[in-house]
Amino acid sequence: MLELAAPLLAALAAGESLAVATVVSVDGSAPRALGTSMAVTVAGRVIGSISGGCVEGAVYDVCGRVLESGEPELCEFGFSDDDAFAVGLACGGRLTVWVQRLAPDGQPSAVEASLRVELERARDKRAAGIAVVLGDGPVRLVGAHAHPSSESGVAAGVATESVDARVAAELAGALRAGRSTRRAIACEGEVLDAVLLVSAPPPHLIIFGAVDFSVALSNAAALLGYRTTVCDARPVFATPERFPAAEVVNRWPTDYLAEAEVDERTVVCILTHDDKFDVPLIEAALALPVAYVGAMGSRRTHSRRVDALRERGVREEALAALHSPIGLDLGASSPEETAVSILAEVLAVKTGASTRSLRDTSGAIHRPLENADPAGAVASRVAGVAGR
């Protein structure tokens, strides 16, 4: 839903009612991610896509019913391969979809008002989050920045305020991680099935060293939605003309890193290939709560840097998190190929994927991200530097 914030708000402002269908569960090889949405206006106009063409027809029909009745629906598409094929989900997966009606501007309900807050934040490129709490009773919605009233319903025996506070805390964690997830949440003796849908500002990629590999990496990272900064103390090399896809900073690298805003999604790539920059930069980066720290260099260079870092008191658990030599073994040689190798490793670290060829693996292709534990890994690494 949050990825469609701008067109949804525009339609509502124009006086159109909407039925919004949002994926709240993905099983098997379903093609779209948790939180993907599609909307249908009262005029029959479709906004977005919920399955890349697989179940749009069936979802469109449900949206029509919800627009007419005003009653939300929780629908499942695909169970066996035959059932999935019947609605166009030829990949054999299963999608659970929550469909709700949004009224145009006027007097929105408390739930709709909460949703509007999050949609407006997402439209404005600010962090936004919506929790969809499933269960035997009515579905409950909790916004990250404005809580709905008890009119939305809640599982019997669980106090409204307790649910809001507990779910909001989990939602805040998902916002920090920057990804949507589905999670069982224990609250007041009940276990809540909550879908945490988040939209966060673009993750930050910080590249140190204005070299040819940095040009290729910054260009490739833009395709993945990263906000990229290239930092180099040499203004003759670090220019906006060389790096059109990045912010360029002419500062001493460790000075910039000491003041940069970072979080658990930030990626730090050190491509300076110069020990006087590399060693203090790596030490500083490993002490920060970032997702990834990688450094370019040969195995001999890596060994020399690690020895220098040990001499500076960096512990083994922190050094184990350093990705050096940087990138996956793809046979990359050119700057462009190396950029693919680096970003492939960044993605693998983010998802906890095996990096094996899909033909050599089994099970679902589109796996949930819960296998990755970036927060735990970051905490362990930072402790390894701080506790030296």
Measuring CA to CA, how many Å separate 2 from each of 10, 22, 127?
13, 10, 10
- What is this structure's pTM? 0.65
Nearest to 95 by CA among 136, 41, 54: 54
Banded model confidence at residue 155, pLDDT cuts 50, 70, 90: very low
**Which structure tokens are listed for 27?**
């099983």
Nearest to 195 by CA among 135, 152, 138: 135
Would you say domain 204-386 falls under CATH 3.40.50.720?
yes
The answer to whether 106 and 12 have CB atoms below 8 angstroms apart is no
Asked whether the predicted pLDDT for residue 88 surpasses 80, the reply is: no
Residue 61 DSSP symbol: H
Give 357-365's long-range contacts (Cβ < 8 A, gap of 24+).
364/27, 364/28, 364/29, 364/93, 365/29
DSSP for 307-332, written as a single string: HHHHHTT--HHHHTTEE-S-S--S--
Instruction: Specify the residue for token string 């649910």.
Output: 163
User: What pLDDT is attached to residue 110?
Assistant: 73
Give CA–CA dist 186/142, Å, rounded. Answer: 16
Higher pLDDT, 138 or 75: 75
Banded model confidence at residue 83, pLDDT cuts 50, 70, 90: very low
Asked whether the predicted pLDDT for residue 327 surpasses 80, the reply is: yes
Range list of β-strands (E), the chain: 18-27, 37-41, 46-48, 73-77, 94-102, 128-134, 140-143, 181-187, 190-199, 204-208, 227-231, 247-249, 267-270, 292-295, 322-323
- Read off the pLDDT of residues 249-295 as tens digits, 9 standing for 90 and up: 999 999 999 999 998 889 999 999 887 889 999 999 999 999 999 99
For the four alpha carbons of 36, 221, 253 and 384, in that order, the dihedral sign comes to positive
Instruction: Count other C-beta atoms under 10 Å from residue 96's C-beta.
Output: 20
User: What pLDDT is attached to residue 87?
Assistant: 45
- Read off the pLDDT of residues 103-134 as tens digits, 9 standing for 90 and up: 886 666 777 788 888 999 999 888 899 998 88
User: What pLDDT is attached to residue 378?
Assistant: 61
User: What pLDDT is attached to residue 370?
Assistant: 43
Measuring CA to CA, how many Å separate 375 from each of 233, 282, 288, 325, 349?
31, 19, 12, 23, 12
97-106, 150-159, 192-201, 206-215 — most confident range: 206-215
Omega within 30 of 0 (cis) for the link into 289? no
The answer to whether 227 and 202 have CB atoms below 8 angstroms apart is yes
**Which structure tokens are listed for 332?**
């990359």
